[in-house]
Chains A and B, each alone.
Chain A
């Protein structure tokens, strides 16, 4: 599997939507981009805020651009972590990437069997901080569905 097809992407998004509706219980936007960061599909669930589509796309773009979950980057950018991390903080990353970088947790890269990044999924609109329910968990439900 070298690249994501629209069918695979829709399967991922459907699963993530189901998870958001049935388990997280909050409407959200879900976006999937290919390995070049180009949008393949975006869905905004009924009731999700109108800005969430763009944020979901940006999270997915950031995840594929750095080949890691945006959750990781959010740790670097957290001012509470200055001086605590092994490396340095990464405040200089704010505003980079032509304004497209978004280090809010919720974007996850999608990898194939050879562990190469073939795309990313991003979710926005789920309030985080309540147990396992967050944007990241919705994205994870989507990634899991790809290999079911």
Chain B
């Protein structure tokens, strides 16, 4: 993650949000969770900036979407209680943070905050889709279930 990429992602995201008629904050962090760039759109509530950063941090350090971290809150899943451990001010399980992968390397994460979690995730996914279109295709190919050895 460098500032050049981050600016491109932010610009795409803000155009995207404007198209949807929404206001939001977007944060980009590097692979270790440290802030690279953060924009708060005109009219977006003040705390959204910090929450967007929290989401991006969570996605970067756990290397998974921030919404999936909440799976640790399920008593049936090993690691139960991580979400209420309160070991870090930044940890959040609100959807809206997504890790950014490039050639199987984590290069950073994006956090979007401002609307309902569903719309936050939509904006974040649209940004990554626009910029990393080809990688996304590879990802979906890899996750396709193999039919050859499937159950009869």
Using CB atoms and an 8 Å cutoff, list the residues of chain A in contact with chain B. Answer: 5-6, 10, 36, 38-46, 50, 53-54
Assuming A6-B14, A45-B3, A46-B3, is B40 touching A40 (CB within 8 A)? yes
Are B40 and A39 within 8 A (Cβ)?
yes
A5–B14 Cα distance when bound, in Å, is 13
Tell me which residues across on chain B come within 8 A of A45, comparing CB atoms: 3
Are A38 and B46 within 8 A (Cβ)?
yes
Cβ-based interface call for B61 (8 A)? no
Residue from A36, A42, A46 in contact with B38 in the complex, judged by beta carbons closer than 8 Å = A42
Are B40 and A44 within 8 A (Cβ)?
no
Are B40 and A38 within 8 A (Cβ)?
yes
Residue from A6, A38, A54 in contact with B39 in the complex, judged by beta carbons closer than 8 Å = A6
Tell me which residues across on chain B come within 8 A of A5, comparing CB atoms: 42
Looking at chain B's contact residues, the main secondary structure is mixed
Tell me which residues across on chain B come within 8 A of A10, comparing CB atoms: 39
Q: How many B residues are at the interface, by size bracket? A: 20 to 34
Shortest distance between the CB of A8 and any CB in chain B (Å): 10
Contact bitstring B1-38, A, C-beta under 8 A = 1, else 0: 01110110000001000000000000000101011111
Shortest distance between the CB of A81 and any CB in chain B (Å): 34
A54–B38 Cα distance when bound, in Å, is 12
Are B3 and A39 within 8 A (Cβ)?
no
Cβ-based interface call for B124 (8 A)? no
Return 9 A-B CB contacts under 8 Å, by A number: A39-B40, A39-B49, A40-B39, A41-B38, A43-B36, A45-B3, A50-B34, A50-B35, A54-B35
A42–B49 Cα distance when bound, in Å, is 10
Are A41 and B34 within 8 A (Cβ)?
no
Tell me which residues across on chain A come within 8 A of B7, comparing CB atoms: 43
Are B42 and A6 within 8 A (Cβ)?
yes
Are A39 and B14 within 8 A (Cβ)?
no
Tell me which residues across on chain A come within 8 A of B3, comparing CB atoms: 43-46
Shortest distance between the CB of A92 and any CB in chain B (Å): 27
Nearest A-chain residue to B5, judged by Cβ: A46
Nearest B-chain residue to A49, judged by Cβ: B34
Cβ-based interface call for B71 (8 A)? no
Assuming A6-B14, A43-B3, A46-B3, is B37 touching A36 (CB within 8 A)? no
Are B37 and A43 within 8 A (Cβ)?
yes
Assuming A38-B49, A46-B2, is B35 touching A53 (CB within 8 A)? yes
Cβ-based interface call for B41 (8 A)? yes
A43–B32 Cα distance when bound, in Å, is 16
Tell me which residues across on chain A come within 8 A of B36, comparing CB atoms: 43-44
Nearest B-chain residue to A51, judged by Cβ: B34
Are A36 and B34 within 8 A (Cβ)?
no
Nearest B-chain residue to A47, judged by Cβ: B2
Tell me which residues across on chain A come within 8 A of B30, comparing CB atoms: 50
A50–B35 Cα distance when bound, in Å, is 7
